[in-house]
Amino acid sequence: MFLDDLKFALSTPINPKIKFDMNCRLASVLVVIYDHSPKIIMTKKPKNMKFHAGEISFPGGKFDENDSDLLETALRETSEEIGLIISKEQVIGQLTPVNTLNSGFSILPFISILDKIPPLASNSEVEKIFHIPLNSLLNTRRNDTDPNHNLIDEMYTFEYQADVIWGASARILKQIENKLNL
């Protein structure tokens, strides 16, 4: 799949404000896809984090009262976590919000597709940055049957090397897979 095909399939209107359950905290992530042989950027959280310790996720985080909206949250958090500065004009779409089952976040995923990216540098919230070939990652989808995970109808896992991607991040990847009709 080529970047132009991805842009066509994943472009949507941007609405950085969502209706949410008052019991949920707001967060957003940025799904960054780049390169002529499309790669997706994901991060591994350190094991000492309060939320999602050791998990594979997209750059992003919780809404801050100084953020004007959830898109600003995603852009700010991406810059802080991996040193990648993305402008609002480089965001081409968004996906349906997903909820975390353990930590109580409602996450709005935004999408940016770029030809190339500069070298990245992680902060203390990121143990490792992954540049994962998109097609091969999407081909690893399985239904999540781990008894330690909260089970709902839409639980999936994806795999990259020895790491398992599950929970909200996997549901975001499944939305991408659905939009690409894979």
Residue 46 DSSP SS3? coil
pLDDT digits (tens, 9 = 90+) for 21-31: 667 899 999 99
Instruction: State the pLDDT at residue 181.
Output: 85
Of the pLDDT bands very low, low, confident and very high (cuts 50, 70, 90), residue 170 is very high
Among all chains, which residue has been given the structure tokens 């990216």? 117
Work out the average pLDDT over 123-152: 84
Instruction: State the pLDDT at residue 42.
Output: 98
pLDDT digits (tens, 9 = 90+) for 27-80: 999 999 999 999 999 999 998 877 667 899 999 999 999 999 999 999 999 999
Supply the Cα-derived Rg of the chain in whole angstroms: 15
Q: Are 16 and 71 in contact (CB under 8 A)?
A: yes
Q: What domains appear along the chain, each with residue ranges and CATH number?
A: 3-132 (3.90.79.10)
Q: Are 146 and 155 in contact (CB under 8 A)?
A: no
Q: How far apart are CA 143 and CA 33, in angstroms?
A: 24
The rounded percent of the chain whose pLDDT value lies above 90 is 74
